[in-house]
Each structure stands twice: as C-alpha cells, then as structure tokens.
Amino acid sequence: MTLAQLKMKVIIHLGLLSESNLRIGEKSRSGGPLGELLQWSDLIACVFLLGHNLYISTEKASLIRHVDQFPVNSPCPSRRRQVDLVITDIIGLRSFKARKDFLLRNRCRIRLVDSFGTQTEFNYRSYFNAHKAALSAKGRQAFDNLILLDSLTNPWGGHGLQLLQHWTFFPHSPDNGFLGFAIHASNVKPLFERNSLGRPVSLVYGKEKYMWNGSEAVVELLKNLTEVHATVSDLNDTDHPMFSGVVNHGFLSAAEVAALLKSVNIFVGLGFPFEGPAPLEALASGAVFINPRFEPSKSRRNTPFLRDKPTLREFTSQSPYLERIGPPHVYTVDFNDISALESVIRKAVEEKPVPFIPEEFSPHGMLIRVNMLLYRDLCSSVSVWPPPNKLVPVISSPDESCEKSCESTGLVCEPSFFPLVNMAAVMSSVAGCSPAEVGNSTEPYAPFNCSHQASSLMFSCATRPPPGSGVVRLCPCRDYMPEQISFCKTCVS
C-alpha cells in the first residue's frame, strides 16, 4: 500500500462537539477530557496531509449542508457526486437522522470513532435483547461503595455496522479498526532538570480531585519516597489533607505538561482514567509509568464507568496496552499490595530510560495506518486487504477466544479472514470435520468444533465460548509488524 492513491472526498463530523450539553470544548480548557479531541485533531491532520478533500463539521446544520452536496437521488450518478467516507462518532451518527437516505446509501462508507470499541454481542440489537441478562451485571452489587444497578441497556451499541467500521483509541480488539493517535516528541525545555532536586520526583496522573479518591495510602507512600507533584485543576487550600505537601501545578497547557514530564522520574497512575494518552506522553519524555494492576479485572460487570460500554473487555490495569511494553519504561503492579508497590517505585526511580514512542503511536506510524484505514474497502463482500495468503488457521484451546488463541501463537486474529476459514473444506483439513458433520450456528464464537457460522454479521475474534462448554474455535490469524499491529509483515510498501 502506498501513500500516492486516489484523492477522496471525506466528511468528518465531530459529534462530541455538536451536543452543547456535553461541554467537551469548554471542559478541555479547564482540565476536562482531552483524549478524544487529541484523536480527532490527529485524524484530521492525517487526512489533510494525505491530500484528501475534507468537509468538517461540529454542528448539525453545517453537517446537513455538507451532506446535501452529495445528492442521493441524482439522475446522473457519478463518482464526482459521491462521498467516499463519512467519519463521525456514535453521537454524530444521530445527527444524520434528517438525511436517512444518505446514511443508508453510504452505510458501508461510515466510520465511527469509538474509543472503547464495540463487540459483536452489542452490535446487533436483536442479539443483545435476547442475551442482555447474560451480558450485564447481574443483580445489585456493591462496588467501591456504589450500588451498581443492572446494566440492561445498550445506549452506545446496536448500530449494526461491520465491526471494522468502528475505530478505537488503542489496539485492544482486532474486531475493530485501530485508529489511535500520535505522540510527538516535544522540544520544550524541562521545568527543572531531572534528578536536580536532591530526591526523586513523581507526578500523579489525576487532573481532577475525584480521581484521587481512595488513594491516601498510595500518595503517602509516594511522599515518603519522592517529591510529589500534581496537576489537579479543581484543588483549593481547604481540600483533603492527602494533598498536603503535594506540589500542585493546577491546570497546565500541553507544552507545560511536557516540560513537567521531562523533569519527573515517575508518572503514577491511580486507576482512572482508563487508557488515556498521558502515560505514552510520559514515556516520550523519558519518565517511567507506574501502571495500577486491577485484581480482579474491571469490566462492565463490576465497574460503573464501563457498565454501558458495548464491550465485555476486561481491563487488567489502567492501561493494558502499556503492560506489553514493560520495564524500564513501564511497571505494572497491584496498588493494594503496598510492599510490592514500594519495591516497584524504588526500582523505577533508579531507571534512566531513553524517551520512547511505540511506532504505531508515532506521527509516521499513525499516518501510514490512517492511509490504510481510509482505503480499506468495506463495501465489498470479498476482502482484498490484508492479502488472503496471509491467513494462518489456528485451532483454539477449549473455551478460548480467537483473540487469545492467535496471540498465544505470536499472531493476531484477522476478522476479515473469517469467511476464508468458515468453509467445509477448511473445517475438514484443519479441524478434521467431514462434510456430513458440519452444522450451522449463529453464536458469535462460530465457526467452532464442526459448526459453520451461518451469519456473516456474527463473526467475532473477541468472543469467548461459555466456560466449561469445551468449545474449540477455528480462528483466522495473521502475522504483524512489530509495534504496528494493524499491518502484516509484508503488507506495507
């Protein structure tokens, strides 16, 4: 795949900015969430740099004006009068209600920026409604002094698109497309020279007070071992004594944060927010990230923040992606084990890692990935990319997802290859099934044993068969480039 290809017409609608009650733009200037805006700005920059025609909107009225430039019922249809891609988010998808004909005609051209991703079980309303009790937190249960009610709704799912049309923040599910964001190596000067204050310096990851709740023991340990810094935007002099002795810088600009990260030894998570960009920014500045491990894992079944997310994904830590990187850049530890945490902090402050940015989160890495995502044809029933000859069929262990099965063999599950393994001939050669034995199933873990997947809408890498079922899945895997999981090893020219 090369960068010099056909110029596309791309509509980009930032739904998160179109709803005034969300106040995303306003909050971003006073300590609110920045991750989504970072991703959108990087995406827009990539599409522009790749030379495409952009139609950008942040309000419904301007969106409709853009849409009306591409009439659905033109008497003389031509490519010149067609849109190539519509990139929005789940909120933005609702803005198209006034132009349903346009939406239906361009259904396969829609791409949803979907931070946490969507799994098959939540993508189709009929399946979710039939299985919602099994997919939700059961009963009323206490969690962190909150009452977690049954999560029997699916407000962010049910769109019925191909899962690859959903673009995620991190590469956490091979079923979805991985969009990501770019981490830039900053050229700002450090606020102060690292190791110049006579003792190690820590910066706590938590820019609003509520993110520190329940972390008194961790903060006290940090005070004993380091000089503790913070960037809490809503702190005042009468707040909790936990903040006594903490150097709080308040709300900082991106350049000021970069200068501070270049000065500290360690950047310490407190468990929330999940999967933000800041830990990667810390690594890019030469700081070590202390990543809280979750015991047990957090998911929609036990965590209020995740209960409406259309995924069963289990968070093993605050940033599961960074677990893969490991020392000297990242230490993942259970914060409930204070002794283990102290040991990790003592090791981490002695590290002197060079600044590090994974290739897939570098500007170059994101640019080539966005180029692939833009040109990946999801309107055809036959996948031509990745090349079909990259298929590696793998038989899973009992009750295991294809995601884990491929991973355990050093590969990645490739959802576009499911039709290639969902064939009697493959089941015969790989799983030893005779044609007479092959049955049909619409469970999201099919094909399995000698059962063929009867619905192409239900293919899933991430789905695990029921525990104890003994189900053995037939999985479509492929290799991938180091630090660029979206590409097979010979798929980029």
Cβ count near 209 (within 10 Å): 17
Q: What is the pLDDT of residue 427?
A: 85
User: pTM to 2 decimals?
Assistant: 0.92
Q: What is the pLDDT of residue 381?
A: 75
Rounded distance between C-alpha atoms, residue 223 and residue 202, angstroms: 9
Rounded distance between C-alpha atoms, residue 50 and residue 1, angstroms: 13
Query: How far is residue 344 from each of residues 196, 334, 373, measured CA to CA in Å?
Result: 22, 10, 39
Helix (H) / strand (E) containing 395: strand 392-395
Closest-CA residue to 333 (of 270, 242, 264): 270
Closest-CA residue to 163 (of 120, 99, 128): 120
Rounded distance between C-alpha atoms, residue 296 and residue 121, angstroms: 23
Q: What is the pLDDT of residue 142?
A: 39
Amino acid at 490: T
Rounded distance between C-alpha atoms, residue 258 and residue 357, angstroms: 14
The pLDDT tens digits for 337-346 are: 999 999 999 9
Q: What is the pLDDT of residue 143?
A: 41
Strand positions, DSSP E, 18-101: 53-57, 85-89
Cβ count near 285 (within 10 Å): 24
Rounded distance between C-alpha atoms, residue 406 and residue 488, angstroms: 13
The pLDDT tens digits for 98-139 are: 899 999 999 999 999 999 999 999 999 999 999 988 887 553
Provide the phi-psi class of 317: left if phi over 0, else alpha when psi is between -120 and 50, else beta.
beta
CA-based max dimension of the chain: 76
Question: Helices marked H in 251-332 — which ranges?
Answer: 254-261, 278-284, 320-323
Q: What is the pLDDT of residue 227?
A: 98
Q: What is the pLDDT of residue 1?
A: 44
Question: What is the chain's mean pLDDT, rounded?
Answer: 90
Contacts of 105 (CB under 8 A, 6+ apart): 72
The pLDDT tens digits for 303-321 are: 999 999 999 999 999 999 9
CA dihedral 351, 354, 360, 365 (to 10 degrees): 170
Domains in the chain (CATH in brackets) are: 9-134+153-178 (no CATH), 201-354 (3.40.50.2000), 384-478 (no CATH)
DSSP structural state of residue 17 = H
Closest-CA residue to 347 (of 239, 230, 189, 225): 225
Query: How far is residue 433 from each of residues 72, 166, 429, 461, measured CA to CA in Å?
Result: 47, 34, 8, 21
Q: What is the pLDDT along the chain (493 residues), one digit of tens a residue?
A: 444 468 999 999 999 988 777 666 666 665 556 788 999 999 999 999 999 999 999 999 999 988 998 887 666 655 566 899 999 999 999 889 889 999 999 999 999 999 999 999 999 999 999 998 888 755 334 344 343 444 568 889 999 999 999 999 999 999 999 999 999 999 999 999 999 999 999 999 999 999 999 999 999 999 999 999 999 998 886 678 899 999 999 999 999 999 999 999 999 999 999 999 999 999 999 999 999 999 999 999 899 999 999 999 999 999 999 999 999 999 999 999 999 999 999 999 999 999 999 999 999 999 999 999 999 999 987 777 899 999 999 999 999 999 999 999 999 999 999 999 999 888 888 878 888 888 999 999 999 988 999 998 899 999 999 999 999 999 999 999 988 999 999 887 6
